[in-house]
Structure 1
Amino acid sequence: MLTLRQIEVIRAIMITGTIAGAAKLLNVSAPGISRLMKHTERTLRLKLFERRHGRYVPTPEANDIFEQINGVYRKVDDLHYTLARIERGGGVELRLGSVPSICHVMVPRAIERLKRKHPDLRIEINILKIEEALDYLLLGKGEIAAMSYRLDHPGLDFMPLAMGELLCIVPQGHELAGRTRISAREIAAHPLIGIDPNDPYGRIMSEIFTRQDLGYDMAIKARFGSTVCALVKAGLGIAIIDQFTVAHGAMPGIVAIPIEEPTQFQTYVAIKNDKAPSLYAESFVRLLREEMNAVVVPRPGNQPATPEKT
């Protein structure tokens, strides 16, 4: 029985015609190649090469063996090609969804790193409302979805991404722009944009206002964080927004101020639980988690501001 190493040595001698050439091809010593070749011939009880004019020539009896060895190497080459194609993501499309707050800054940064690793991978990104995520996954429209909270559904698994917190945003030059921290009471004293109690992040802040018996004026409602930021930049009010939307200076013209009250929340990635995730989905989740955790500044003693919605 030939070992893979013996097959490798036999083929190297076939290609180069000499022991020294085979040793150089395999980056090993010539005496080692010679000893292994003699041992192989003894084991097989078959002479594989004859030495003629300083070169090793295959014997007629060994031709069938060499043909099989070449067949093995062709299969190995095919395997290497397939593995390389998988590594590059060739012929594959990753379909993923995300709520807007995570999709605006965090998802593109993770995608850029994913494409560096798998340059041929095709990607489809869908911005989802929270209520759209269930159908997106359960109907097979996409493989994974980044979520601002978890749902209770027997067909889905939820994996934690990162713990974030809310920030107060004001336009540059605003009277609050120089503050290093701000309270809910101070926030409620100004016209607000986009605080919707039915939104996961809006619910956190509205409950803080309610506990402190604070009234507030919500002058303008807006669904997406990018719109809220644009309205704030235009000087139409101040707003509460998640830190991921404004990370890495993504929204110039506004100033983000930490809030004194605990406003932490947990984010998740959801996946259908009857199918193993692809390696590309797993890589994306890992990279997204790294990107999100990189912008989180832990506040000792802070816990999520509201329990998970189930």
Structure 2
Amino acid sequence: MLTLRQIEVVRAVMVAGSIAGAARLLAVAQPGISRTMKHLEDQLGIKLFLRKGGRYVPSPEAVGIFEQIHEVHKKIEDLQFSLGQLERGRGVELSFGSVPSIANVMVPRAVADIKRRYPDIRLDIDILKIEDAVDYVMLGRGEFVVMSYRFDHPSILFEPLAKGHLVCIVAPDHPFAARPFVTAEEIAACPLIGIDPADPYGGIMAGIFARDKLPYQIAIRARFGTTVVALVKQKLGTAVIDVFTVADVDRRDVAVVPIAEQTEFQTYIARRSDVALSSFAESLIASLRRIMVETVARA
């Protein structure tokens, strides 16, 4: 049986018409081509080439073999072309969902990363409420959902993504703006924006308030982080928000202040447990995880 390397060498000799020419085509030394040809002819028991006018031409008994070699080489070229297209993501569409807090800043950064690696890949990104994630995954609308928390479901696998924490955001001229950190008690004494105990992140802060028996007043409820940030810019109150949402906020517009209490949380990738992720999905998740970890480290 001929190896792919032997096929490559024989075709190079056919095209170049000489051992030296074949060596140049393959960027190898002439002796290597000569040894391969001698070994192959000994193995087949026939002479593959004859010398005519200083060139190598197919022997009569090898003409049929060369036709087959040409077909094999053409199929290999087609395969290499298809693999090259796949390496660029050509013909691939990756669909996934994300909760807004991670979709606002982290997901676009990961998408930019994956597009540099696979320039031709198409992406379909759904921004989902937490309660919509189950249907999205189970109905196969996308490969996975980026989640801000996990829950028990017999058919959904939750894989840890990255840990984050909460921060306090205020207008630049707020008294908290110059502080190295603020406490839950200090935050609770302010008019608050967007802290909903039913929200995973809001539940963290509400839990701290309840533990410390701190009364607090939510002056404005706003579900999405971008809206919360915009409200703080208007000096309408103080907010507690996740570190990922404020990763690209202009600090001239909003001051980001650490919170003294422990507010760490874990994010997840949710996917069907009976369906394997594509290599493109795995690449995007790896980029997203790295970007999120780097964001927290810089915060």
Paired letter, 2:164: G
User: For 2:198, what is the secondary structure of its paired residue?
Assistant: coil
Q: In 2, are the aligned partners of 1:229 and 1:251 still within 8 Å (CA)?
A: no
Mapped contact 2:8–2:73 kept (Cα < 8 A): no
| Whole-angstrom CA distance in 2 between matches of 1:123 and 1:278 | 13
CA contact (8 A) 2:194 2:222 kept: yes
Give 2:270's aligned residue: 270
Please tell me whether residue 183 in structure 1 is matched to residue 183 in structure 2. Answer: yes
What corresponds to 1:53 in structure 2? 53
- Cα deviation per residue 1:210-256 (whole Å; 9 max; x = unaligned)? 11111112110001000001001100000000000001336761111
Cα distance in 1, alignment partners of residues 292 and 149 from structure 2:
15
Give me the whole-angstrom Cα distance separating, in 1, the residues matched to 2:2 and 2:89.
Answer: 35
Identity %: 58
Query: Is the contact between residue 14 and residue 57 of structure 1 (CA under 8 Å) also seen in structure 2?
Result: yes
Indicate the SS of the match to 1:180. Answer: coil
* TM-score of the superposed pair, with normalisation by structure 2: 0.97
Alignment of 1:228-267 (within 5 A): 228-249=228-249, 253-267=253-267
State the partner residue of 2:24. Answer: 24
Query: Residues 35-86 of structure 1: CA distance to partner in whole angstroms, max 9, x if unpaired?
Result: 2212221221111111122211111111111011111111111211221222
State the partner residue of 2:167. 167
Matched residue, 1:102: 102
1:142 corresponds in structure 2 to 142
Larger mean CA deviation between 29-38 and 60-69 belongs to 29-38
Is residue 129 of structure 2 the alignment partner of residue 129 of structure 1? Answer: yes
Query: Structure 1 length normalisation: TM-score?
Result: 0.93
More divergent stretch after superposition (39-48 vs 215-224)? 39-48
Relative distance call for 1:154 and 1:251 in structure 2 (3 A) is farther
Are residues 252 and 102 of structure 1, via their aligned partners in 2, closer, same or farther at CA, if it must alter by over 3 Å? farther
Q: Match of 2:95, SS? A: strand
Conserved 8 A contact 1:105-1:250:
no
Alignment of 1:14 with 2:14, yes or no, is: yes
Residue 118 of structure 2 corresponds to residue 118 of structure 1: yes
What is the SS of the residue equivalent to 1:47? coil
Deviation at 1:3, TM superposition (A): 2.5
Task: Judge conservation of contact 2:7–2:73 (CA < 8 Å) in 1.
Answer: no
2:224 maps to what in 1?
224
More divergent stretch after superposition (129-138 vs 75-84): 75-84
SS of residue in 2 equivalent to 1:94: strand
Q: Is the 8 A contact 1:9 1:22 kept in 2?
A: yes
For the pair 1:69 / 2:69, whether they are aligned, the reply is: yes
Structure 1 distance, partners of 2:35, 2:167, is: 72
CA distance in 1, matches of 2:298, 2:211: 24
Unaligned runs of 5+ in 2: none
Match of 1:305 in 2: none
More deviation, 249-258/35-44: 249-258
CA contact (8 A) 2:102 2:244 kept: yes
In structure 1, what residue type is equivalent to 2:260? E
Once the two structures are superposed, what CA deviation does each residue of 1:108-147 show, in whole Å capped at 9, x if it has no partner? Answer: 0000011111111111111111001011111111111000
* SS of structure 2 residue aligned to 1:244: coil
| Counterpart for residue 201 of structure 2 | 201
Distance 1:189 1:297, change over 3 A: same
Find the aligned partners of 2:238 and 2:196 in 1 and give their Cα distance.
14
Compute the RMSD of aligned alpha carbons. 1.5
For 2:245, the aligned partner's letter is: T
How many residue pairs match? The answer is 299
Q: Secondary structure at the match of 2:177?
A: coil
Partner of 2:294: 294
Separation in structure 1 between the aligned mates of residue 244 and residue 238 of structure 2, nearest angstrom: 17
